[in-house]
Chain A
Amino acid sequence: MEKYIRPGVKTTPFCPGCGHGILMNAILRAIDESKMDMKKMLFVSGIGCAAWIPSPHFNGDTLHTLHGRALAFATGAKLYNPDLCVMVISGDGDLSSIGGNHLIHAARRDIDFKVICANNLIYGMTGGQVASTTPKGSKTTTTVEGSPYRPFDLCKLVEAAGATYVARYAVTQPVALINSIKKALLHKGFSFIEVLSPCPTQFGRRNLLDRPEEMIQDLIRRCILQEEVRGLSEEEMAERIITGEFLTCQRSYRCV
């Protein structure tokens, strides 16, 4: 344990039923199975629940930064010391809303980052406000009648911006998730894995999923691998979340 968990860390701060613990486990297993040297790993995070996944828990270098700015801080560290394996772990609000501009530019530059976006569909730490990822119609403390707007498709966003490894899995698909993180660790370039992680405290209880296990069941029911999409009717696809590895390439062509 001490190889991966910082001495002195006893517990995590996550709520009961939060998916971030599973994600934390998946990340460390992928690092272990890939035989990464924790002394050469830098974990950068922004602000929010997900930003606490690496800081202070992970026993490597950790940089817990400002809200939205994780990728900008990471850019400086990685460019100055390319030997660092830089993993950015943060939430959907942090990476795609306040930090959205840094996200697309880091992807455009194809800097060798392993970005894990823990997507809980809401602002958890601040009390359950609507996020740029909240599904249309979902109730939050700032959309009491349901969110009127469409959410981002984060994977399509970063793919369009120039990412070279893009995947989406839920914490209910742990084996696939670990394998995906391992691929990202090996990939040279901007890797982005969106990880759906349930937030029963702020999202579930306002959206008819009162208990943590209901959120897990809901994710299991809704997540579908992209290979399974073919042949499904529009009705069968409704409310489904497509998961899988969407892109893995080394970009050699020029955009313009």
Chain B
Amino acid sequence: MRSTGLKTTFPKGLHYLSGNEAAAEGAIAAGCRFYAGYPITPSSEIMERMALRLSELRGVFIQMEDEISSICAVIGASWAGAKAMTATSGPGFSLMQESIGYAAFTETPCVIIDVQRAGPCTGQATKVGSGDIMQARWGSHGDYQVIALSPWSVQEMYDLTLRAFNLSERYRVPAMVMADEAVGHLRETIRIPEKIEIWDRKKEKGGAPFGTDEEDGVPPMPAFGEGERLLVTGSTHDAFGFRRTDDPEAHAKLVERINQKILKSTRVIVETEDYFLEDSDTALIAYGFTARTSLYVVKRLRKEGARVGLLRLKTLWPFPEEAVAELGRRVKRIFVPEMNQGQVAGEVKKYARCDVISLGQTNGEVIQPGTILEALTKI
């Protein structure tokens, strides 16, 4: 890959990039200086870009032996003080799940970009899908929370990767960017803003790294080598990291806190966008690349006088329950086009008290406007 010739973060202004390249630049802008990964289509360009940029910026890049070791190295680096990231696609995302549970339970900030392809299994490696949405939420065993964002453009590959780092640092939680092949390989002009907001994990000398009485429940996080003599374990632990493997109260308290620290902050974390919903009786709920098609369809139907709108989910986890429930009270029916067999439609059905129609498609192609139009005009 050609050198950017830059020893800094990407300069402000307009740039023509692919989604995967923009995600790497968003990570760099957020302060990411550690990347570990393993090649996999269609996410590899993120790793190649990070290899180049981290060498320019004197960060650390390593290509590991598999996706398991990649996410493990990311977690290890995070405890050494790094803002750290990996990127992958379906099969690699599956391999990472146990470690994502480790990161959630040890409250380790880290970012995982999943450029989704057509699954299950090896599926169609170069084709698009969004079948990993439920896996992002439930992929590891036990009860935990993660944050998952869904970009619909090259601009958002940059913006939401940056945001994933900020949220990950702020809440000490694994944050995922649930991209898809179409957005990852899309090329568009993006604007790098002049000023960006950066969050860093909080530190407190002698503070309990796994316990806090604060309302948002996020304890301070020192790094290895700072003299704190950290005790980090994936077993149930107390506020200072001592294993508590047979204490029911310790387990209940810890599991509750790592869930509540995210659930209590949904107002900060969850972002959605409304399009033409004020007077709509029919709505689309969409995310990722499919939201682009959905908006096109909505605009076209509006021209014909249809009262249809779009709710775009920028955050997938924690799920935007309030926005969906509120929409369900206002419209008669909600269509959910998505590149899986109704993973988000199922969530929508949980919260929206109206007709919910799943428009799932799993053929390795993006959903065409005609497909959505046809479903909508049947009404």
Contacts and interface: CB of A to CB of B under 8 A. Distances in A.
Interface of A: 6, 8, 38-40, 42, 44, 55-56, 59-66, 69, 71-81, 83-84, 101-102, 105
Contacts of A105: 64-65, 69
B164 interface: no
B99 interface: yes
Contact of B64 (A42, A72, A77, A84): A72
Contacts of A59: 229
A64 B75 CA distance: 12
Nearest to B33: A80
Nearest to A58: B229
Contacts of B232: 61-64
A14 B266 CA distance: 44
B144 interface: no
Contacts of A80: 33-34, 60, 76-77, 80-82, 84
B242 A73 contact: no
Contact of B76 (A38, A40, A77, A83): A77
Given A61-B230, A63-B232, A79-B77, A73 B225 contact: no
Contact of B80 (A55, A56, A65, A77): A77
B229 A76 contact: no
Contacts of B331: none
Contact of A76 (B68, B72, B235, B242): B72
B233 A76 contact: no
A42 B33 CA distance: 21
A72 B229 contact: no
B68 to A, nearest CB: 7
B76 A72 contact: yes
A38 B241 CA distance: 18
B69 A62 contact: no
Contacts of B224: 42, 61, 63, 77, 81, 84
B242 A56 contact: yes
Interface of B: 33-34, 36, 60, 62, 64-66, 68-70, 72-82, 84, 98-99, 102, 223-225, 227-235, 241-243
11 contacts: A38-B229, A56-B243, A64-B232, A69-B69, A69-B72, A77-B79, A78-B80, A80-B34, A80-B80, A83-B225, A84-B80
A80 to B, nearest CB: 4
Which residue, A38, A69, A78, has most C-beta atoms of chain B within 10 A?
Answer: A69
A39 B98 contact: no
Which residue, B81, B223, B233, B243, has most C-beta atoms of chain A within 10 A?
Answer: B233
B344 to A, nearest CB: 30
Given A63-B76, A64-B243, A81-B223, 14 more contacts: A38-B229, A61-B224, A61-B232, A62-B232, A66-B234, A69-B99, A72-B68, A72-B70, A75-B62, A75-B69, A75-B72, A76-B72, A76-B73, A79-B60
Contacts of B62: 75, 79
A28 to B, nearest CB: 14
Contacts of A66: 72, 98-99, 102, 234
A73 B36 CA distance: 11
Nearest to B242: A56
A105 B234 CA distance: 24
A73 B108 CA distance: 12
A89 to B, nearest CB: 14
Which residue, A65, A76, A79, has most C-beta atoms of chain B within 10 A?
Answer: A76
Nearest to A8: B242
B225 A40 contact: yes
B235 A62 contact: no
A71 B64 CA distance: 11
Contacts of B82: 76, 80
Contacts of A79: 34, 60, 62, 73, 77
A55 B223 CA distance: 17
A214 to B, nearest CB: 31
Contact of B231 (A55, A71, A83, A84): A55
Contacts of B234: 64-66
Contacts of A73: 72-73, 75-76
Nearest to A68: B68
A61 B225 contact: yes
A6 B80 contact: no
A64 B235 contact: yes
Contacts of B84: 76, 80
Which residue, A73, A81, A84, has most C-beta atoms of chain B within 10 A?
Answer: A73
Contacts of B73: 72-73, 75-76, 79
A207 B297 CA distance: 73
Which residue, A44, A63, A74, has most C-beta atoms of chain B within 10 A?
Answer: A63
A77 B108 CA distance: 13
Contact of A60 (B76, B77, B81, B229): B229
9 closest residue pairs by CB, A with B: A76-B76, A76-B73, A72-B72, A76-B77, A72-B69, A73-B76, A64-B233, A77-B76, A77-B80
